[in-house]
A and B are shown apart, each in its own frame.
Chain A
Amino acid sequence: SQTIHQWPATLVQPVGSPLSLECTVEGTSNPNLYWYRQAAGRGLQLLFYSVGIGQISSEVPQNLSASRPQDRQFILSSKKLLLSDSGFYLCAWSADRGSEKLFFGSGTQLSVL
């Protein structure tokens, strides 16, 4: 069966520090991968999605970036965190970009202080 792992679960970082969140998927090949951010009491905002290795599409201009160095690995990064980067970050995968449900990782609660 397919599983998705996301870590760390919680992270407290000072403003201006770098960020690296990692997500890996097991049990499937060539998944579509996504990074979402959720502000408190709000819906999910799509940040990045990837349909293959090295293929990254950005939805929202910001100081975050994403990379997909391997088929089932998706990394969210920042060189310098801002206060506004605080939120609940969710990695997700789907079998295909169209009409397929998303399977989410357990999320990372990021607090930038």
Chain B
Amino acid sequence: GQNIDQPTEMTATEGAIVQINCTYQTSGFNGLFWYQQHAGEAPTFLSYNVLDGLEEKGRFSSFLSRSKGYSYLLLKELQMKDSASYLCAVEDNAGKSTFGDGTTLTVKP
């Protein structure tokens, strides 16, 4: 099975940088996804990591260490619209994704 841990809540200031961590224990690993979900809406895809290292995409970057079972999502130049829940999801060898409970990020002016 999969066990995924993320902090429940985080707060950061507009313009700052925030790092959201995700640790996982899995019986099989095929890749790790990050999704963004605004309140009452559906999640939308942010990033996907399958190899160790950093994937950068604009203001968002995602890092993966498979040996440590660890990933983080880095958000730079925070904007108010970045206030949302961020979901870490681990894909197993069968192609099924298991989601963490999400981290609710609040960006303050």
Tell me the total A-B contact number using a CB cutoff of 8 A.
Answer: 56
Interface of chain A residues 57 through 113 with chain B (CB within 8 A): 59, 90, 96-99, 101-107, 109
Of B57-65, B72-80, B97-105, the one touching chain A:
B97-105
| Chain A contact surface mostly | loop
Which listed residue, B30, B41, B45, B104, touches A101 by the CB 8 Å rule?
B45
Residue of B nearest to A42 (CB): B101
* Contacts beyond the supplied A42-B101, A97-B95: 7 A-B pairs with Cβ under 8 Å: A46-B98, A98-B30, A98-B91, A99-B31, A99-B50, A106-B42, A107-B40
B residues with a Cβ closer than 8 A to A are 4, 30-31, 33, 35, 40-45, 48, 50, 87, 89, 91, 94-102, 104
